[in-house]
Amino acid sequence: MNIKKTVGEAAVELIEDGMTVGLGTGSTAYWAIAKIGERVKKGLNISAIATSKESEVFARELNIPMVTFSEINEIDITIDGADEVDPDLNMIKGGGGALLREKIIATASEKLIVIVDDTKLVKQLGAFPLPVEVIPFGIESTRAKIEKLGCKTELRLSDKTKEFITDNGNYILDCEFPMIKNPEKTSQELNGIPGVVDNGLFIGLAHRVFVGRQNGSVNIIQK
């Protein structure tokens, strides 16, 4: 059984004619986009905006009508995955490297629907290394300041020798904290460091979390 496919397709049922839809990035969001493509083929009338170049390419292959922020005022619903979700629906995202565009689209959305399998539910954030997008210039200085917050950092690589480059031309530092007890404070501290573009802490943005279970069921968590 493909849990990611099941939960991704379940969330797509929320999409209605006339909506502007944010398309997530990652292995679970892939199945949501695929289902949206099926519904568009059957007559669903929507427009969409993607959180990554990869998702946009896939959506265009499925003939999903794409728009840019210059063409829309708001996004009705965004469906995206997460790397960790805590009981307050705070999240760590960015495992796929798209955290900045994901956050821009999430904050522009009336509803952010998160799709995960049950292994992504945690009591406290931090077991998954927190992705932080940084500009290449001065990365040594930026990295040192980040580590003063109490974490170990690792520069993400696309292979053994080459830096991973985001869609925005930046690098990602994966930051290992003991645990993140105060996500809001940690996010503010990180974003206050010159050279940091944004971080993968998504606080208070999720409206509902669709959770795929091993038995094939899907539970919905909301505040």
Task: Tell me which residues are annotated as active site.
Answer: 102
Single out the residue of 165, 138, 24 nearest to residue 12, CA to CA: 24
> How far apart are alpha carbons 114 and 96 in whole angstroms?
15
Beta carbons of 96 and 195 less than 8 angstroms apart? no
> How far apart are alpha carbons 2 and 79 in whole angstroms?
18
Residue 174, amino acid: D
> How far apart are alpha carbons 180 and 183 in whole angstroms?
6
> How far apart are alpha carbons 101 and 50 in whole angstroms?
8
Tell whether the torsion through CA atoms of 47, 49, 55 and 58 is positive or negative.
Answer: positive
Beta carbons of 84 and 123 less than 8 angstroms apart? no
Query: What are the residues facing 92 on neighbouring strands?
Result: 84, 201
Sequence-distant (≥ 6) Cβ neighbours of residue 158 within 8 angstroms:
164, 165
